[in-house]
Amino acid sequence: MISLDLHTPNITVAKQLHHDKLYPIIKQRIDGLPASELKTFLADWRISAILTDTPEFLEEHHNDLLDAIPGYSVAGWTEFLRIKGIQAVRRNAIESDIFNLYNHFVEDINGIFKYTGGFARKTSPYSAYDLAESLNIQTCTYCNRIYTKTVRNPTKITRPEFDHWFPKESYPLLALSFFNLIPSCHVCNSSVKGKTVMSLDTFIHPYVDSAPQYKFSYRIDSYNKYKFQISRNSGSKEDATIKAFKLEEIYATHEDEIEDLVRLRKLYSPRYLLQLRTLLSKADQKVSIEELYRLAFGTHINEADFHKRPLSKMKKDILKELNIIK
Least confident of 189-193, 234-238, 239-243, 320-324: 320-324
What's the pLDDT tens digit per position in 161-214?
999 999 999 999 999 999 999 999 999 998 888 778 899 999 999 999 988 899
The band of 282, judged by pLDDT with boundaries at 50, 70 and 90, is: low
| pLDDT score for 284 | 59
Quick: pLDDT tens for 255-280: 888 878 777 776 766 666 667 667 66
Q: Give the pLDDT of residue 256.
A: 83
Q: Residues 55-67: what's their mean pLDDT?
A: 95
Q: Dump pLDDT digits (tens) for 9-30.
A: 999 999 999 999 999 999 999 9
Query: Per residue, what are the HEC states of the chain?
Result: CCCCCCCCHHHHHHHHHHHHHHHHHHHHHHHCCCCCHHHHHCCHHHHHHHHHCCHHHHHHHHHHHHHHCCCCCHHHHHHHHHHHCCCHHHCCHHHHHHHHHHHHHHHHHHHHCCHHHHHCCCCCCCCHHHHHHHHCCCECCCCCCCECCCECCCCCCECCEEEECCCCCCCHHHCCCHHHEEEECHHHHHHHHCCCCCCCCCCCCCCCCCCCCCEEEEEEEECCEEEEEEECCCCCHHHHHHHHCCHHHHHHHHHHHHHHHHHHHHHCCHHHHHHHHHHHHHCCCCCCHHHHHHHHHCCCCCHHHHHHCCCHHHHHHHHHHCCCCC
pLDDT greater than 90 at residue 222: no
Does residue 100 carry a pLDDT above 90? yes
